[in-house]
Amino acid sequence: MENRIDVNEDLALEEKALENPSSEEKNYEDEQIRVLEGLEAVRKRPGMYIGTTSIGGLHHLVYEIVDNAIDEVQSGICDTVFVTINADNSVTVQDNGRGIPGGINPQTGLPTLEVVYTKLHSGGKFGDGGYKVAGGLHGVGAAVTNALSEWMEVETCHSGKRYTERFARGQVDREFAFEGETDQHGVKVTFKPDPEIFEETVFDYDILLNRMREQAFLNAGVKIILSDVRPEMERSEELHYEGGIASYVDYLNTLKHCERIHPDIIYMRSGLDLPSAEVAIQYNDSYNETVISFANSMTTIEGGTHETGFRAALTKVLNDYARKIGALKATDKNLSGEDVREGITAVISIKMEDAQFESQTKSKLGNSEIRTLVENLMNRKLTEYFEENPASGKLIIEKALAASRAREAARKARELTRRKSVLESSTLPGKLADCQERRSELTELYLVEGDSAGGSAKDGRDSRFQAILPLRGKVLNVEKSRLDKVYSNQSLIPIIQALGCGIGEDFNIEKLRYGKIIIMADADVDGSHIRILLLTFFFRHMRKLIEDGHIYLAQPPLYKVHRGKIVKYAFNEAEKDAIIAELGGSAEAERYKGLGEMDPEQLWETTMDPTYRTLLKVEINDAIACDEAFSILMGDQVEPRRLFIEQNAKFATNLDI
């Protein structure tokens, strides 16, 4: 049950909030004028510092401390970082760098360590006037983590001396103290997140693992040893990649389980002076593009100037080379950006002082000089690579040409269908039972497996705002199909038409005709198959629908439990048992074999009525993991799929794919 999201409850709350601004909001203005001192500000508005107080924010606490250790790695002094989840759900981060100096900070008269952990000094570090290029909060991260921790203990070994200090909710709890001589050096921090702040205080090893692995790839050579010592959860991994982002590309291509087009990974980097740029590329035989970018070791999910430079240079260099070797003739059209990126896996990492981030989520790099930096680097080095590796060069150009031909065929297919006005937003599929409401934020489209369930759904729905599209036959597996197939596929065309937002180059979310798109399929193997086929389609071709939270899975009940005239529904085994117990001895449970068995009223009551139903919202928590899952599950290699299903079988009830 925890996995269900009752969307209507959320909506109701939102509406209430709009009607009468909460008292909290009214106070906000007062607080803006009042100058909040020190860490109180962080505890009052944690979201402003770590984004959220849910599970993401919890893990952010660790990243902030690790960032300081990684900074020390980048200055070349430290090579090992330990990250340990302790039995009491506290976390220890330890490095073997110089250690924080044991002296007194002249500006404040406080121990330097205390300043680092309790003051929201802005800008760079204040040790030696150096700057900070690791991600995070410009050197105030450690203080933020401290403020949001129930307690924190810091130990520093610097210049042969060991010091400690302890904090509670950001306040000094045990004074800074000299503990004795030592031959060690480095910093060790242990903290326990404050349950007063966080909704969730149990760390997830896999979330930390992903981030630590990313950091290990981005900082070639560093060893990060991640351990979980909680009873029954013991695990440990050493993350260490001498090849840096080239190893990252290799890793990503291994996850994708497809063939590499050329054996080597193309690696380019500018000089070591800042700003610096690094790019690694390798093509595979899939039709997808995986380009991930970083600025100062932080993911830039929305891209930005470094990605723009990358794309511009890639298109130019490949076209120049294709013409040079005669693969493109004088009269041929240029390869498009999409052509040259089909099947590419690339990692771009830039480091600079004063990185500027744009957009709401601050995950888009804005510095214009970086575009030129990456573009020039690639124009030079990628051209050089092709000259030195003509065999690989030829294979890459052939892949792009194949993509270009497929795109041309897709364009023709689309034009053909467009002429027949099949994909035009004004035409609706014959099978669609549309709703009356026109404001898309209020409407729902049910994609229903099978005609009989479709019939029940049509009769049971509230036609004011619910539309039904029954799906006939198997949905196309887009993972194994090029665009031309997708655009002309008879199972997908009605969906594309009903949604009204177009596809590919024509995609326009503004034209989306429904606020919620709800996949309603049986709880059996065939239903699971349809669900995953539809999700693959949305993920590969209309990802924005998932990103913007439009895609949902309906949750039909598994059992009908009745005693005499009393009927109740159960969504899992435990609920069924509870209801039988509640109704007493002669209650009987019937298992639904499919949606088609339910009559319209039952379907409405259990699965479609917004006051009763529960919907599962589809989210992309980790795009790379999703990419992997879809490549493995829907690709054409059997062994990785078998392994994946075996390893993920325990999640099957959650994911149900």
Residue closer to ligand 1YM (CB basis): 189 or 335: 189
Rounded to the nearest whole angstrom, what is the least distance from the CB of residue 266 to ligand 1YM in the complex?
34
Nearest to 187 by CA among 80, 85, 115: 80
Choose between 154 and 340: whose C-beta lies nearer to ligand 1YM: 154
CB of 105 to ligand 1YM, least distance (A): 8
Cβ distance to ligand 1YM smaller for residue 121 or 543:
121
Closest residue (Cβ) to ligand 1YM? 127
The C-alpha atoms of residue 316 and residue 320 are separated, in whole angstroms, by 6
CA distance 416 to 456: 35
Concatenated DSSP letters of 332-395: SPPPPHHHHHTTEEEEEEEE-SS--EESTTS-EE--HHHHHHHHHHHHHHHHHHHHH-HHHHHH
Name 620's Cβ contacts closer than 8 Å, sequence gap at least 6.
539, 543, 546, 547, 626
Q: Of 72, 165, 342, 449, which residue is the catalytic one?
A: 449
Contact 316, 261 (CB under 8 A): no
What is the C-alpha R_g of the chain? 28
Determine contact, residues 397/318, Cβ cutoff 8 Å: yes
Side chain identity, residue 653: T
Query: Is 449 among the residues known to form the active site?
Result: yes
Report in angstroms how near the CB of residue 139 gets to ligand 1YM at its nearest: 7
Comparison of 189 and 520: residue with beta carbon closer to ligand 1YM: 189
CB of 45 to ligand 1YM, least distance (A): 24
Per the CB < 8 A criterion, the answer to whether 243 and 254 are in contact is no
Query: DSSP H helical segments within 112-243, as ranges?
Result: 112-118, 141-147, 205-218
CA distance 622 to 523: 25
The binding site for ligand 1YM (CB under 6 A) comprises 65, 68-69, 72, 93-95, 97-98, 100-101, 112, 116, 125-128, 130, 187, 189
Closest CB to ligand 1YM among residues 68, 614: 68
Cβ-Cβ contacts under 8 Å for 258 (sequence gap 6 or more): 284, 285, 286, 631, 635, 637
d(CA 126, CA 105): 10
In whole angstroms, what is the distance from residue 559 CA to residue 576 CA? 7
The nearest distance, CB 298 to ligand 1YM, in angstroms, is 18
The answer to whether 488 touches 520, Cβ cutoff 8 Å, is no
d(CA 401, CA 339): 7
What would the two tokens of residue 393 be? Answer: 């060069």
Residue of 67, 153, 522, 627 marked catalytic: 522
Q: Least separation, in Å, of the C-beta of 88 and ligand 1YM?
A: 19
Task: Tell me whether residue 183 is one of the annotated catalytic residues.
Answer: no
CB of 100 to ligand 1YM, least distance (A): 4
* From 25, 206, 285, 524, the catalytic residue: 524
**Which of 332, 526, 601, 636 is flagged as catalytic?**
526
Are the CB atoms for 67 and 214 separated by under 8 Å? no
Query: Considering beta carbons, is residue 9 or 238 the nearer one to ligand 1YM?
Result: 238
Q: Is 484 known to be catalytic?
A: no
Active site residue 522: yes
Of 170 and 309, nearer to ligand 1YM (C-beta) is 170
The nearest distance, CB 158 to ligand 1YM, in angstroms, is 7
Q: Which is nearer to ligand 1YM, 73 or 457 (CB)?
A: 73
Give CA–CA dist 164/176, Å, rounded.
Answer: 6
**Positions marked active-site:** 449, 522, 524, 526
